[in-house]
Chain A
């Protein structure tokens, strides 16, 4: 069984391209279109890693990250923030919220996969 990756992002096209590639690389992928759904699904799914978009409707990525890290059951799941922003203040708030890593869109798919493997091994 491949490791389980959870993607929370509201851009369906982006999510589908990412899912195809991660499945091709041997991962098992589950997705959610917004932060609220992510918070409901993740404690049941218990993935090995979460890819989290920041700008999502209803509950944003920072809030999801903070809640997952506050919950003892999910706090050890590594979280990689995906963002279209690259301002330092966003990185600051991401780190404050407890994210384990940061990737700015657009990224090289190979770099993202390497980052994911690094977090899973670590």
Chain B
């Protein structure tokens, strides 16, 4: 009897538990499937919009451009002016479409940041170079200044170029003839601050929050009379936020506006973690990520630093890095500076065997430098050596110390 009762009690407990389990798993898989369909729809949306809007737009632009080029004979001045208007509007529409696509790509979480250590003043100079002609036409002067000791900034250079181009472009638009735009880069404790200040008419306090909303163009006096899409600032703000930073405005009527954004500064450990996770997201064809660790032996490196000028050993480090990059297979391979005389080279989609071959080639290319300052190189791969990205981060930290200290 007791046996039967135990059996029955067991059944009473087990059957509901099993039902609960089945229900939960179906609910879970349904939720998963719904999520998959939703993501799929978003992806499709981006693909459909890009193809279905861009192709007809390209055809319209072609017709207008052909007419203006005289493909169907010379145009009268009147016809030329009308076609020009058509072309300007087609261009505006093309901008709206590509901005909408950018928005939708960001919202769908499909922007993968390709971060590397960036020399910010150099990057901003390249932006200023590209807008120089536009600024000159608008009669606006461009200036840049920065703190003397700026470290490299870990960010996606192409995306930061887009943000700065947008902010400087807006500033040119809204600053009248004879005005000045100043770009400043400042070191903060937890982040680096980049600000774009203009001497335009400023934005009324009640409008300052609205300008970051989609399709908002508040009344500002246009410098060059050019009309935007009303999406630029929204996109810039989201791109900065993807980096873990913030974009803000400070403005006073009649005085001008300052748009500034921050990019976080990472500690060495955070940087490595961030780089490993970024590189994993960028692996296109596989889940393999290999790292080559380069370090000068600490004792010898300390001696070198003591016996030579900073300029001399920086030149040595520069030459070593150039050789490493040359041997690295493609431009996609990231080189991370991990303290003085230490570098980590990331090889995407590369298993251990491939990484070992690349390391051997690097070692032989660097042999001449070994006399000046002996170095060590080792490879570490995920998943062969370290099963997960997080384990990889810890293993690399230990490996660098081990190598440098012999």
A40 is an interface residue with CB less than 8 A from chain B: no
Q: List 27 A-B contacts (CB under 8 A).
A: A14-B59, A14-B62, A17-B59, A20-B71, A21-B65, A21-B69, A21-B71, A24-B71, A84-B50, A84-B55, A84-B58, A85-B47, A85-B50, A85-B51, A86-B98, A86-B101, A92-B284, A105-B57, A105-B58, A106-B57, A106-B61, A108-B61, A108-B65, A109-B61, A109-B62, A109-B65, A109-B66
A110 vs B57: C-alpha distance when bound (angstroms)? 16
A16 vs B47: C-alpha distance when bound (angstroms)? 24
Interface majority SS (helix, strand, loop, mixed), chain B:
helix
Footprint of A on B, CB under 8 Å?
46-47, 50-51, 54-63, 65-66, 69-71, 90, 94, 98, 101, 105, 110, 112, 284
Q: How far is the CB of B150 from chain A (nearest CB, A)?
A: 28
A89 is an interface residue with CB less than 8 A from chain B: yes
**Who on chain B is nearest to A54 by CB?**
B51
Given contact pairs A84-B54, A108-B65, A11 touches B59 in the complex (Cβ within 8 A) = yes
Within 8 A of B (CB), among A90-122: 92, 104-110
**B62 — which chain A residues lie within 8 A by C-beta?**
14, 17-18, 21, 109
B54 engages A24 (CB within 8 Å): no
The 5 A-B residue pairs with the shortest CB-CB distance, nearest first, are A17-B62, A106-B58, A84-B54, A105-B58, A109-B65
**Who on chain B is nearest to A9 by CB?**
B55
Residue from the list A21, A86, A105, A108 in contact with B55, Cβ < 8 A: A105
A17 engages B55 (CB within 8 Å): no
A106 engages B65 (CB within 8 Å): no
Q: Among B46, B62, B65, which residue has the most Cβ atoms of chain A within 10 A?
A: B62
Q: How far is the CB of B97 from chain A (nearest CB, A)?
A: 8
Q: How far is the CB of B279 from chain A (nearest CB, A)?
A: 15
A86 vs B56: C-alpha distance when bound (angstroms)? 16
Residue from the list A21, A106, A108 in contact with B54, Cβ < 8 A: A106
Given contact pairs A86-B98, A92-B284, A109-B61, A20 touches B66 in the complex (Cβ within 8 A) = yes
Q: How far is the CB of A88 from chain B (nearest CB, A)?
A: 8
A55 is an interface residue with CB less than 8 A from chain B: yes
A13 is an interface residue with CB less than 8 A from chain B: yes
